[in-house]
Every structure is written in structure tokens, then in C-alpha cells.
Amino acid sequence: MNTEQDDLGFIYRKVKSGDVFIHHRGILAATLRGKKAVTFITTMDTAGFAEQQQVMARITGNYKRGNERRSVQHVKNID
């Protein structure tokens, strides 16, 4: 069952050549080719929706690390 919390806005598309395109909120975020594409498709075939979203987030680098709130208070970010 897909919930709004699980949906991070990622979709992927496999093309005839074997390449995989990962889109985040409609914008191309990553292209996988060769062994990486094969591994990715194998992972997607066995993963649930929420896990698929997390895998795509990690591949593209579009995921929160949990320290965003603290980084605002960092000495380098204070005017």
C-alpha cells in the first residue's frame, strides 16, 4: 500500500537499450547503464514501493540525512 509518506517523488523508466532513467518530480535525476542498470532493475523487482523510493533517493543523492536542522545553526551559516 502506497502512502504519501512513502512517496518521495521518484519514478524510473527502462528503455530498450537497457539504460534506466530515474526521474525526481518529473526531472531527470540519474541515468544508469550496464551493470548498474541490471543491478538496479533486479533490486526494483524484489523491493516494495517504499524501499524502491529509498533506493532511488540514495542513487540520486536526493535524500535527507537527518542533520538539516542542526546545519542551519552551524557557525558557518550564521550571519
Q: What is the pLDDT of residue 6?
A: 75
Q: What is the pLDDT of residue 76?
A: 65
Q: What is the pLDDT of residue 7?
A: 83
Q: What is the pLDDT of residue 8?
A: 86
The candidate with the shortest Cα–Cα distance to 44, out of 32, 35, 53, 57, is 53
Q: Which helix (H) or strand (E) holds 40?
A: helix 35-46
Domain borders along the chain are 10-77
d(CA 25, CA 22): 10
User: How confident is the prediction along the chain (79 residues), in pLDDT tens digits per residue?
Assistant: 566 667 888 999 999 999 999 999 999 999 999 999 999 999 999 999 999 999 999 898 866 655 555 655 666 666 5
For residues 36 and 18, the answer to whether their CB atoms sit within 8 Å is no
